[in-house]
Amino acid sequence: MRTAADIAVAAPDFEHDHATPLARAAEHVVLARHGARLRPAMGRPAATRILVVANQKGGVGKTTSTVNVAAALAQLGQRVLVIDLDPQGNASTALGVEHHRGVPSTYDALVDGVALADVATVSPEVDGLTVVPATIDLAGAEIELVSVVARESRLRRAILGHPEVGTAAELGDERLDYVLIDCPPSLGLLTLNALVAGNEMMIPIQAEYYALEGLGQLLETVEMVKAHLNPTLDVSTILVTMYDARTRLAAGVAEEVRDHFGDQVLKTTIPRSVRVSEAPSYGQTVMTYDPGSPGALSYLEAAREIAIKGAAS
């Protein structure tokens, strides 16, 4: 088995690594702590991919998946922007950026029309990752936007107006590869703005029966948005979270989801993990808090699947 020193020396050959799972875990710890510069970059998509992470059911790992997939993509050499659209600001907390009242935020972009680039801030934890934080002011945005013309497309205009959102032909290497939008646990105007803005959707589903009940309503909303506001929206990714391999229920839910959605479901499932839950209290994602934990390794593999799919499209 290789030592950490061996891993660092062999960094250029990681893509063809066939080491044991323990060695791969040690490898990821070294790479996470020494920066993405040691890891071979994944292929970049030809244009910015805008992923909406939504599920109106709370507690399914939506925000947790958003920040950890974003951090993992950045560690894989992608340039990532996270837009926190939840007034609770949990994604902002996990990514280590300030989001108290008065901080430039998504509220300013949605209500006042401030450019996204002017309210974005660099995450101190992960290179290549920037964040548009959410403040409590966002809680009143739905009311303030009621009388605004084309209120459901405010976020779309803000994202498309970002100088780094576009294709490789237009912007070259300076483009953003991914924009991930963390939605509130509801199907209100904020989530509607996200669905109109995105071209892809990632749905985290908890490996429990109740998580399936609200999925039908969410998919009906998606179909309505596709029919009337955003025909390009596609449910490209479904991620099974809080998976407990010891229970038949988790396996049954995962199997049912895979039978119904096929290739849209990532092969990687996210296990229940205390380390994943602990990380936000330190203003970090699990990718930097405990990069060798099962949760971090699972999110890394999930991000790798997403990146491979994007590079191939």
Written in H, E and C, the secondary structure of 5-45 is HHHHHCHHHHHHCCCCHHHHHHHHHHHHHHCHHHCCCCCCC
What would the pLDDT profile of 248-271 be if each residue is shown by its tens digit? 888 888 888 898 889 999 999 999
Range 140-146, long-range pairs (CB < 8 A, 24+ positions): 141/87, 141/107, 141/110, 141/111, 141/189, 141/190, 142/188, 142/189, 142/190, 144/111, 145/110, 145/111, 145/189, 146/189
Of 108-117, 206-215, 240-249, least confident by mean pLDDT is 206-215
Q: Residue 301: pLDDT above 90?
A: yes
Q: Is 46 exposed, middle or buried (0-12, 13-18, 19+ CB in 10 A)?
A: middle
* Residue 306 · residue 50 · CB < 8 Å: no
pTM of the model: 0.86
pLDDT score of 131? 97
Q: Which residue has the higher pLDDT, 242 or 207?
A: 242
Q: State mean pLDDT over 13-37.
A: 57
pLDDT score of 34? 54
Q: What is the mean pLDDT of the chain?
A: 86
Q: Residue 12: pLDDT above 50?
A: no
pLDDT score of 1? 46
Q: Which residue has the tokens 């010891």?
A: 246
Band (194; pLDDT cuts 50, 70, 90): very high
